[in-house]
Structure 1
Amino acid sequence: MSLLEVRELEVAYPGGAAAVRGVDLSLAAGEKLGIAGESGCGKSTLALALLRLLPAGTRTGGRILLDGEDVLTMKWGRVRAVRWAGASIVFQGAMHSLNAVHRVGDQIAEPILLHHKATPAGARKRTGELLEQVGLPAARADAYPHELSGGQRQRVMIAMALACDPRLIVADEPTTALDVMIQAQILRLIEELVSEQETGLIMISHDLAVLADTCDRLAVMYAGRIVEEGPARQVYDDARHPYGRALSEAFPRIGDPASRFAPHGLPGDPPDPAAVPSGCAFHPRCPVALDVCATRDQPLRAAGPERRAACVHVEGAGFGGTPAAGAGARAPDAEARSSTP
């Protein structure tokens, strides 16, 4: 049985905006899954839904099975028990997540006291061990968040996420505000801790290169749906969906001068969740869309070994096979070759 099974997940905010539309995911213990996409594609909403952290009034459907239990139908007491102990989350922007008037050690110790019923002395000892595990001296437990650097605060957030030995960690843009060197250290730390403890990891980012280096599998989201999924490095190097290809090509690659001086990308923005286009939601921005894309949505289908993509150009879709083929194909927009997502 998988550690996490998400089936036909639907999330709609008050007012009817559908932020997540029929998402299917699975994650094994010790596996690392990356979720990529532009802002507004539903990544963070999906992360919040996994632990029922969505605002009041949000409507959800489908199933989220964590170790066989449906998170969406759990009683609140059970949900509180699952958070931290069963699954935890590392938010982006640690300064906004940490309490500015409490020492970081007290904040790490709080879930230990609550879930493990530890003594104050035992919680302090465990807090020191966690800080050292993430590369900080145990003495930093007495610091307030403003006394730590951005990288140190993010390490504290990771220590908090590990406090109760969860089976699943969700990391939502954990390195967004950090410089490149600190980002690399944090990503390496997360990868090592997850591998050592056989913890399942879902990492969310707009940066496919980061996810390709860190994760085993990669899922690309657009307009609340997963449009491509497969082994992370394969999706990054050879995306089968035009949107995944655009995300990958938006980042210059070391040793490839062409990508440095002529990065590819896409014009425009993801659609408003309250007004998703008919057919394939990506078709208004797609440089290889066919006429049928405006009227018929595409399901995820096999696009190679362990790969899936929701595109008419995937072999077996019945619409011509390659992005350049098929009557009614639109010419790539020149702007798509000069703008970035």
Structure 2
Amino acid sequence: MSVLEVRDLRVTYAGGFAAVRGVDLELTAGQKLGVAGESGCGKSTLALTLLRLLPAGAQVSGQVLLDGEDVLTMRWGRLRAVRWAGASLVFQGAMHSLNPVHRVADQIAEPIVLHGRATPGAARRRAGELLEQVGLPAARGRAYPHELSGGQRQRVMIAMALACEPGLIIADEPTTALDVMVQAQILRLIEGLVADEELSLIMISHDLAVLADTCDRLAIMYAGRIVEKGPAHKVFTSPHHPYAQALASAFPRIGDPTARFAPHGLPGDPPDPSALPPGCAFHPRCGVALDTCASEDQTLRAAGVGRAAACVHVGEGR
């Protein structure tokens, strides 16, 4: 059963910035989907659109079906009920997302009360249970955000996301600001909670290796579009699209002389969303582009079982 279906989603900001251009996604119950790409590829805009959190000036079209209901056409009352209880979002900057003048337990308890799940007293007790579930003593609920470390604040954000028992968690770069040791702890925590609570997960990151280790499937975004998708391990180890290949090769492998003495990278930056190049948006940075790539756009085509890539070099049935 599909928990989430995204159909031909398009988001344009004021000034003609096309941040998301025709994205299609499907997430089944219990599935973990990773969305990867450089900064500016549309990942965070996609995450915000799933719960209709974009600024008022954004133009949105397409469908975002959460348990069969279109988030984009919901009335405000229904949308408020769906946020936190149907799907919740873990932001990348916990210090900017938490209220600095309220204790963290009160912030965890707030959505529980607002959604009518418990009385204020019971909600505070539930907040303590959630803190312990994410590896913090319940007593830390009396702390203010500035009294916690970065990893502890991120755990609080995860506890808040779990507060109303949603079926879908959307994690937008949840470990970007953390050191590698704490990052590994948070990733294992999320992975364990998703398995224990039988949740669906969308994990958004620029780190392809993290997503390949955490998720079942991967979707690679470039210039607002998905250019490759498929099983996580296969997309990471044998990508078809040149952009996905560049992302995968950008991560050095310990003990691999090739990675040490000949590190790979990708020159340039993603294109300006308000002035996209004609044809395939990646062709100005692509080392294997053909003349036709500059004039003919590429759409996703079959690239093996359960895989697809938007590249002229990928043949049908490959």
TM-score range, shorter chain: over 0.9
- Residue 196 of structure 1 deviates from its aligned partner by 1.1
Aligned equivalents of 1:150 and 1:16: distance in 2? Answer: 36
Residue type matched to 2:205 in 1?
A: S
CA contact (8 A) 2:90 2:174 kept: yes
Runs of 5+ in structure 2 lacking a partner? none
Name the structure 1 match of 2:75: 75
User: Where do 1:295-306 residues align within 5 Å?
Assistant: 295-306=295-306
Query: Which amino acid is the alignment partner of residue 37 of structure 1?
Result: G
Q: What is the DSSP-based 3-state SS (H/G/I as helix, E as strand, rest coil) of the residue aligned with 1:85?
A: coil
Within-5 A mapping of 1:137-176: 137-176=137-176
Give the match's secondary structure for 2:2: coil
1:16 aligns with 2:16: yes
Q: Contact (CA 8 Å) 1:5, 1:25: kept in 2 or not?
A: yes
Alpha-carbon shift at residue 186 of structure 1 (Å) = 0.1
Q: Per-residue CA shift, 1:53-78, capped at 9, x if unaligned?
A: 00011100000000000000001111
Letter in 1 for 2:44: S
Q: Please say if residues 89 and 169 of structure 2, whose CA atoms lie closer than 8 Å, have aligned partners that are also in contact.
A: yes
Tell me the SS of whatever aligns to 1:170: strand
Q: What is the match of residue 54 of structure 2?
A: 54
1:287 aligned residue: 287
Match of 1:221 in 2: 221
1:123 is matched with 123
Equivalent residue of 1:178, what SS? coil
Tell me, what secondary structure is at the counterpart of 2:84?
helix
| RMSD (Å), alpha carbons | 1.0
Q: How many residues align?
A: 318
**1:89-238 equivalences in 2 (<5 Å):** 89-238=89-238
Q: Is the 8 A contact 1:37 1:221 kept in 2?
A: yes
Name the structure 2 match of 1:327.
Answer: none
**Contact preservation (8 Å) 2:81, 2:115:** yes
* 1:198 Cα deviation from its structure 2 partner: 1.3
Give the 3-state SS of the residue equivalent to 1:130 in structure 2: helix
Report the Cα offset of residue 16 of structure 1.
1.4
What secondary structure, in the 3-state scheme, does the structure 1 residue paired with 2:229 have?
A: strand
Conserved? CA contact 2:9–2:23, under 8 Å = yes
Is the 1:301–1:310 contact (alpha carbons within 8 Å) kept by the matching residues of 2?
yes
Does the 8 A contact of 2:117 with 2:164 survive in 1? no
What is the alpha-carbon distance in structure 2 between the residues aligned to residue 164 and residue 261 of structure 1?
A: 50
Task: Tell me the residue number matched to 1:31.
Answer: 31
Residue matched to 2:4 = 4
CA distance in 2, matches of 1:75, 1:121: 30
Deviation at 1:208, TM superposition (A): 0.3
Structure 1 runs of 4+ with >6 Å offset: none
Distance 2:255 2:214 in 1: 20
Alpha-carbon offset, residue 116 of structure 1 = 3.0
Whole-angstrom distance in 2 between the partners of 1:244 and 1:121: 50
> What is the DSSP-based 3-state SS (H/G/I as helix, E as strand, rest coil) of the residue aligned with 2:219?
strand
Output the CA distance in 2 between the equivalents of 1:262 and 1:65. 45
For residues 49 and 210 of structure 1, what CA distance do their matches in structure 2 show?
23
Partner-residue secondary structure (3-state), 1:264: coil
CA distance in 2, matches of 1:10, 1:56: 15
Structure 2 contact 104–143 (Cα < 8 Å) conserved: yes
Are the aligned partners of 2:37 and 2:221 in contact in 1 as well (CA < 8 Å)? yes
CA shift for structure 1 position 93: 1.2
- Offset, 1:316: 3.0
- Using the aligned pairs only, state the percent identity: 78
Distance in 2 (CA, whole Å) between partners of 1:198 and 1:299 is 33
Distance 2:130 2:263 in 1: 41
How many angstroms apart in 2 are the aligned matches of 1:116 and 1:26?
30
What are structure 1's unaligned runs of at least 5 residues? 322-341
Shift of 1:117: 3.9
Shift of 1:261: 2.7
The CA distance in 2 between the partners of 1:117 and 1:287, in whole Å, is 55
Return the alpha-carbon distance in structure 2 between the equivalents of residues 83 and 166 of structure 1. 8
SS at 1:202's partner residue?
A: strand
